[in-house]
A and B are shown apart, each in its own frame.
Chain A
Amino acid sequence: QKEVEQNSGPLSVPEGAIASLNCTYSDRGSQSFFWYRQYSGKSPELIMFIYSNGDKEDGRFTAQLNKASQYVSLLIRDSQPSDSATYLCAALYSSASKIIFGSGTRLSIRP
């Protein structure tokens, strides 16, 4: 059973701080990993993807991948109230041609 696990939260972070979101996956065959942000009533929006070990930075966002530990994380620096949303972690299992999503982490940025 291919699984992606996330803490459902809610995770509350003060404005301006770093928000850290974590995700683990069960199948070592997964090759690419994605972070989506979803506002209530909207479809998921892709904010980061990563497929190599290490860090990948894009503006205030940093994705981290550790394949040995089967662990993916997303850091949001200088958190803003507009970052309050549900963050979905997903893994692409190329061998099975499917993308599996975690249950999502609710993030709340408090002013």
Chain B
Amino acid sequence: SAVISQKPSRDICQRGTSLTIQCQVDSQVTMMFWYRQQPGQSLTLIATANQGSEATYESGFVIDKFPISRPNLTFSTLTVSNMSPEDSSIYLCTAGGRDYGYTFGSGTRLTVV
């Protein structure tokens, strides 16, 4: 399985600012995904990060708010833009493949004040 390094692990941000979260994978992977998890709830897919093309966003998530980059097959970033307290959550990236599963980064706990 792929090993994913995610950072930062946590941050406290002022409303109106932006935070960029990074995920580095130890091997080349085709598919990377970004999720959000509210306390006590399951994972909500934000978008699929596609290498060499724009990310594919789920309903309720837009590129202007959550721009994603995928410059190569081992790296992706998610930016949470113009943050409000409602963006406080845990953000997770995952990567892998059908034949060996998908592993998660350690997550970024974001608090917007």
User: Closest approach, in angstroms, between the C-beta of A82 and any C-beta of chain B?
Assistant: 19
Q: In the complex, which of the residues B1, B94, B99, B107 contacts A99, with contact meaning CB atoms closer than 8 Å?
A: B94
B45 touches A99 (CB 8 A): yes
B98 touches A46 (CB 8 A): no
A43 touches B105 (CB 8 A): yes
CB-CB < 8 A to A45: which residues of B?
Answer: 104
Please list 17 pairs of residues, one from A and one from B, whose beta carbons are closer than 8 Å in the complex, sorted by A's number.
Answer: A32-B98, A34-B101, A34-B102, A36-B104, A43-B92, A43-B106, A46-B1, A46-B104, A92-B98, A98-B45, A98-B48, A98-B58, A99-B33, A101-B35, A101-B42, A101-B43, A101-B45
B75-113 residues at the A interface, CB under 8 angstroms = 90, 92, 94, 96, 98-107
A55-92 residues at the B interface, CB under 8 angstroms = 88, 90, 92
* Interface residue B13 (Cβ < 8 Å from any Cβ of A): no
Contact residues of A: prevailing secondary structure: strand
Whole-angstrom CA separation of A51 from B103 in the bound complex: 16
- Taking residues whose C-beta sits less than 8 angstroms from the other chain, chain A's interface range is 20 to 34
User: Closest approach, in angstroms, between the C-beta of A4 and any C-beta of chain B?
Assistant: 9
A99 touches B102 (CB 8 A): yes
Residues of A within 8 A of B (CB): 31-32, 34, 36, 42-46, 49, 51, 88, 90, 92, 94, 97-104
Whole-angstrom CA separation of A101 from B54 in the bound complex: 23
CB-CB < 8 A to B41: which residues of A?
Answer: 103
* Interface residue B31 (Cβ < 8 Å from any Cβ of A): yes
With contacts A32-B98, A46-B1, A97-B48 taken as known, whether A103 is within 8 angstroms of B42 at the C-beta atoms is: yes
B101 touches A49 (CB 8 A): yes
B101 touches A51 (CB 8 A): no
User: Closest approach, in angstroms, between the C-beta of A28 and any C-beta of chain B?
Assistant: 16
With contacts A44-B104, A98-B48 taken as known, whether A51 is within 8 angstroms of B98 at the C-beta atoms is: yes
